[in-house]
Amino acid sequence: MTKPKIIIVENNKDFRTGLKSLIEIYEFAEVIAETDNVQNLSELLQIYQPEVVLIDINQISEIDIIRLINEQYSDLKIIAISSFSNDDYFYKLIDAGVNGYILKKSDIYDIEKAINCVLNGDNFYSNEIINISKEKIVENNVISTEFELSKNELEILELICGGKNIDEIAIVLNSTSEKIQKSYKNILSYSNCKNTASLVIYALKNKYIQLKI
């Protein structure tokens, strides 16, 4: 089985070296290049053509680079690895098009799961990000007057924001993937969202679910 090819962008040399070593030890991906500067990423993408980029964004201004790269490389999967657990920062990165968001304190299994998840066409947000401090997503009163979700649709929305894919949601809710997929498409249609990333932002900003702090 061919390992996914990835590039690591991280300005902390010790963290970058340690992450690369762990990935090589656990053998779930191949690190084909690394850099300490996000400004070098465009050139590396042209040379190496990776499937996934693991990137640490240290400045808000660098988010614009991610947005541009996402537009130029539509098949590329971008996973943000950050020390920030600020929800506004989370919104900005997802809005820029990242496919995953995990904290640096996450273990190697989260990184492996994130890579597999985004390559399967899903999004991945680690529990530390979604739950912040209380480790629990809670439903809130619907404040949008545009539409109202059923209890089942709210459960599906919560699980999507928790990083679950369609098959995993079907297992959790004791349903079928086909039924969950249909409900997911309905939610996208109701909310006018084009994909999971925009749906997560919509759900959190409009208080269909919120992070309990």
Q: Contact, 126 vs 106, CB < 8 A?
A: yes
Confidence at residue 123, expressed as pLDDT on a 0 to 100 scale: 79
Three-state secondary-structure class, residue 138: strand
For residue 167, the one-letter residue type is D
d(CA 45, CA 40): 9
Confidence at residue 67, expressed as pLDDT on a 0 to 100 scale: 87
Confidence at residue 147, expressed as pLDDT on a 0 to 100 scale: 63
Confidence at residue 193, expressed as pLDDT on a 0 to 100 scale: 78
Give the model confidence (pLDDT) of 110-168 as tens digits: 999 999 988 987 778 777 666 543 333 334 433 344 567 888 998 998 888 766 778 88
The closest alpha carbon to 162, from 115, 211, 118, belongs to 211
d(CA 184, CA 189): 9
Ranges assigned E (strand) in the chain = 5-9, 30-35, 52-55, 77-82, 100-103, 124-125, 137-139, 209-211
Give the model confidence (pLDDT) of 66-123 as tens digits: 888 988 998 899 999 988 766 667 777 877 888 888 888 888 999 999 999 889 877 7
Confidence at residue 213, expressed as pLDDT on a 0 to 100 scale: 40
Segment 183-201 shows an average pLDDT of 81
Confidence at residue 197, expressed as pLDDT on a 0 to 100 scale: 67
CA dihedral 194, 188, 185, 147 (to 10 degrees): -160
Confidence at residue 92, expressed as pLDDT on a 0 to 100 scale: 79
- Looking at the chain, the whole-number percentage of residues with pLDDT higher than 90 is 43
The domains located in the chain, with CATH, are: 5-131 (3.40.50.2300), 137-211 (1.10.10.10)
Mean pLDDT score across all residues of the chain = 82
Confidence at residue 35, expressed as pLDDT on a 0 to 100 scale: 95
Confidence at residue 79, expressed as pLDDT on a 0 to 100 scale: 95
Question: In whole angstroms, how large is the CA radius of gyration of the chain?
Answer: 17
d(CA 13, CA 133): 28
- pLDDT band of residue 206 (cuts 50, 70, 90) is confident
Confidence at residue 135, expressed as pLDDT on a 0 to 100 scale: 37
Ranges assigned E (strand) in 10-145 = 30-35, 52-55, 77-82, 100-103, 124-125, 137-139
Q: What is the pTM of this model?
A: 0.71
Largest CA distance in the chain: 51
Tell whether the model's pLDDT for residue 26 goes beyond 90. yes
Give the model confidence (pLDDT) of 51-64 as tens digits: 999 999 877 678 88
Confidence at residue 129, expressed as pLDDT on a 0 to 100 scale: 64
Ranges assigned E (strand) in 45-149 = 52-55, 77-82, 100-103, 124-125, 137-139
